[in-house]
């Protein structure tokens, strides 16, 4: 039998903390608008912030460790905003990331 490679990665939980599923509607699609993607990231449970940083961003380990310090000082909401900025910026232009954050602040966060 020919040699095979196996890649094992942790599951990313959905926005409700359960297994991510399109059927359950707790998923974040890569083709969502910047606004929708930002809002969905902000909906994840607090205990999923750092698994998302590790699995869904390109931040280095020391940068993620810095976010843990920010969590202690500024709280989960601020760290989730930074996570949302990172995730959305992978799929959308910088100006759309800025607009998505403004949209979140003006419509959802109130």
Identify the residue whose tokens are 């949209």: 103
Where residue 19 sits, what CATH number does that domain have?
Answer: 1.10.240.10
Range of the domain at 57: 1-110
Return the pLDDT at 5: 92
Measure the CA–CA gap between 92 and 72, rounded to whole angstroms. 29
Q: Which residues of the chain have pLDDT under 50?
A: none
Residue pair 19/10 in contact by the 8 Å Cβ criterion: no
Instruction: List, for residues 27-49, the tens digit of each pLDDT value.
Output: 999 999 999 999 999 999 999 99
Task: Determine the pLDDT at residue 11.
Answer: 87
Can you tell me the distance from the alpha carbon of 102 to that of 18, in angstroms, rounded to the nearest whole number? Answer: 28
% of the chain beyond a pLDDT of 90: 88
- pLDDT given at position 76: 95
How many domains, in total, are found in the chain? 1
């Amino acid at each position: 039998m020919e040699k095979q490679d196996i890649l094992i990665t942790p599951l990313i939980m959905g926005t409700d903390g359960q297994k991510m599923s399109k059927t359950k509607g707790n998923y974040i699609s890569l083709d969502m608008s910047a606004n929708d993607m930002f809002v969905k990231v902000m909906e994840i449970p607090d205990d999923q912030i750092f698994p998302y940083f590790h699995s869904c961003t390109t931040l280095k380990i020391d940068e993620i460790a810095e976010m843990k310090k920010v969590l202690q000082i500024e709280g989960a909401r601020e760290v989730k905003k930074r996570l949302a900025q990172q995730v959305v910026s992978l799929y959308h232009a910088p100006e759309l990331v800025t607009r998505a954050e403004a949209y979140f602040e003006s419509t959802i966060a109130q």
